[in-house]
A and B are shown apart, each in its own frame.
Chain A
Amino acid sequence: MLLAIDTATGTVGAAVHDGDRTRAEVVRQDSRRHGELLAPAVSAVLEEAGLTVADLTEVVCGVGPGPFTGLRVGVVTALVLAHGRGLPAPRGVCSLDALAHAVHLGGAPATDVLVATDARRREVYWARYEMTPSGARRLEGPAVGPAASLPEQVRSLPAVGRGGLLYPDALPGQLPDAPLDVSPGVLADLAVRLSGGTHPDSGRGLLPPEPLYLRRPDAVEARSR
């Protein structure tokens, strides 16, 4: 029984997956209160699935990229929860991959797809995917930068995530009804497929449970405190 957690985008949530399907998912929409919302969401998703923490055998978490403060809440929750239950260390999934996987599950367009999320400071986290029949394969990224600085051919692709909503001039391809934030249930499904070898990126495997920061700490800002 797998518990999936993600706090890399505007949602905070958890899902339980039994290897075949997502049994329950609890998602809260609030990008500034990850710390308050996540633990109750984990508790709630277990209850909804009729399980207890003792039933969990595996933990996975979205490792971003995403705004650091919220991202760390998810990663450290996964780490300590797994440690506290005596489970193997959690494994990480690139949160942008989970957004691309949502596009795959929802019936993908026939072209490559851009995933772009809010990186704050007028920048986006982004990655480019090839949509294959068995899943979305990451071709470029994850990377961070101003939307207008993305390669020309990437900027015009069909886009999902909040990046296209924030910077419609630079990223005009926003898909209607596109997923904007990570669904932990979709992330769980992706983790199962990645480890089961049925996903085009299975070779790359899952990631260590460490945030994909992509940016160095901003020490100058801290100096003026």
Chain B
Amino acid sequence: MNDPLVLGIETSCDETGVGLVRGRTLLFDAIASSVEEHARFGGVVPEVASRAHLEAMVPTLERACREAGVRLADVDAVSVTAGPGLAGALLVGVASAKALALALGVPLYGVNHLAAHVAVDVVEHGPLPEPTLGLLVSGGHSNLLLVPDVTHDIRSLGATMDDAAGEAFDKVARILGLPFPGGPHIDRVAREGDQVAIDFPRGLTSGRDLQRHRFDYSFSGLKTAVARWVQAREAAGEPVPVADVAASFQEAVVDVLTRKALLACREHGVDDLLIGGGVAANSRLRALAQERCDAAGVRLRVPRPGLCTDNGAMVAALGAQMVMRGRPPSGLDLPADSSQPVEQVRS
């Protein structure tokens, strides 16, 4: 099949996403988010997310088809995030995708959410170099991936040992009295601050840690350091320089993220780095990554922010590449796997 029309469904967290991709062309990406409903809890509430997915599914399917100007009957394959993610939320998407595949009589592809974050960039910047190095950073994941073939062969080089990068942004935002989700607010406030004002720790970057956890990340120590620093200020009755704290914290995160990504490029002989996930929207991460990639002679790919956060287009894009590469589809008994390993690209 040359340019298959693939419909992708994503429900691994709080976004109900339905994307339509023809070959490597994005037709439309429809998103319904329940983020507002979670804001008052300071984090995603799984049951609230699952209920929202159920309510949003058919309206989001309708909207995607309407805006893309296609009929469901023209869809050649359905792909869906099978994992990793919130179990109950994944299940709504997987059941929907099966029902749609059954209704349309087309193949079903259960795909890995992390692989989809990498695959989405083909709709923006063309075919992926093989191999590509993927740095995925969001509220749910922080991973370094070696990607020889995004439809088939992905190897995990490292991951966070504790908090995901985006989670650290949320927690530090809370410490600083900024709203949820914290990423965009810290990014905004940090522009007014001094990124070298406070020397916050860089997790897993020194001596033995770097040997043992070469490409792993850790952000919980950083978060604790920020909390202690702020508490000490408050205890001393001094004002907290929010912009400086935000900028210095952000610098510590993006410094480690990019430093290890470039180290992995060098050691694995990879010339292309792709950054995905919601934290890829962070302006300082983009700037520092560009600077360091330029210095190292590595090409940097970052999809536009709307494609970095969770969406259906990324699932459709990966599904379309699987169809084009002739990968076998999944069965109707496809399980949702909340802890699906990244090596398992297709279920």
Contacts and interface: CB of A to CB of B under 8 A. Distances in A.
Interface in B72-107: 72, 87-88, 91-92, 94-96, 98-100, 102-105
A11 interface: no
A83 B103 CA distance: 9
A165 interface: no
B201 interface: no
Interface stretch (A70-78, A150-158, A190-198): A70-78
A79 B91 contact: no
Interface residues on chain B, size class? 35 or more
A76 B98 CA distance: 10
Given A35-B95, A76-B92, A79-B58, A217 B103 contact: no
Interface of B: 41-48, 50-51, 53-55, 57-58, 61-62, 72, 87-88, 91-92, 94-96, 98-100, 102-105, 331-336
A177 interface: no
B99 A76 contact: yes
A77 B332 CA distance: 12
A225 interface: yes
A85 B61 CA distance: 13
B102 A53 contact: yes
B100 A84 contact: yes
A75 B105 CA distance: 20
Interface string A20-62: 0000000000000101111110110000000001000000000
A85 B41 contact: no
Given A68-B47, A76-B99, A222-B43, A39 B332 contact: yes
B47 A80 contact: no
A219 interface: yes
A53 B95 contact: no
A86 B332 CA distance: 21
Nearest to B47: A217
B336 A76 contact: no
21 contacts: A33-B335, A38-B98, A39-B332, A53-B102, A53-B105, A68-B88, A73-B95, A76-B57, A76-B92, A76-B95, A76-B99, A78-B99, A79-B54, A79-B58, A84-B100, A84-B103, A210-B55, A217-B48, A217-B51, A219-B41, A225-B43
A218 B92 CA distance: 18
Residue among A37, A210, A219 with most chain B CB within 10 A: A219
Contacts of B43: 222-223, 225
A122 B333 CA distance: 30
Given A76-B95, A81-B103, A35 B335 contact: yes
Interface residues of A, number: 34
B44 A222 contact: yes
A138 to B, nearest CB: 24
B96 A35 contact: no
B41 A223 contact: yes
A40 B332 contact: yes
Question: Which 7 pairs across A and B sit closest by C-beta, in order of nearness?
Answer: A84-B103, A217-B47, A39-B98, A80-B99, A222-B45, A39-B332, A81-B99
Classify the secondary structure of A's interface with B: helix
Nearest to B101: A39
Contacts of B331: 40
B95 A38 contact: yes
B54 A75 contact: yes
A211 B95 CA distance: 15
A134 interface: no
Contact of A39 (B47, B61, B87, B102): B102
A80 B58 contact: yes
Contacts of B42: 223
A69 interface: yes
Interface string A94-117: 000000000000000000000000
Given A80-B96, A83-B103, 17 more contacts: A36-B333, A39-B333, A68-B51, A72-B50, A72-B92, A76-B99, A77-B95, A79-B57, A80-B57, A80-B100, A81-B102, A84-B102, A84-B103, A219-B47, A219-B48, A222-B46, A223-B43
Nearest to A41: B332
Nearest to B334: A36
Contacts of A69: 50, 87-88, 91
A73 B103 CA distance: 16
Interface in A185-208: none
Nearest to B90: A35
A51 to B, nearest CB: 13
A199 to B, nearest CB: 28
Contacts of A72: 50-51, 54, 88, 91-92, 95
B18 to A, nearest CB: 11
A74 B317 CA distance: 28
Contacts of A217: 45, 47-48, 51
Residue among B47, B50, B72 with most chain A CB within 10 A: B47
B58 A73 contact: no
Nearest to A216: B47
Contacts of A210: 55
A80 B91 contact: no
A65 B166 CA distance: 36
A35 B48 contact: no
Interface string A133-171: 000000000000000000000000000000000000000
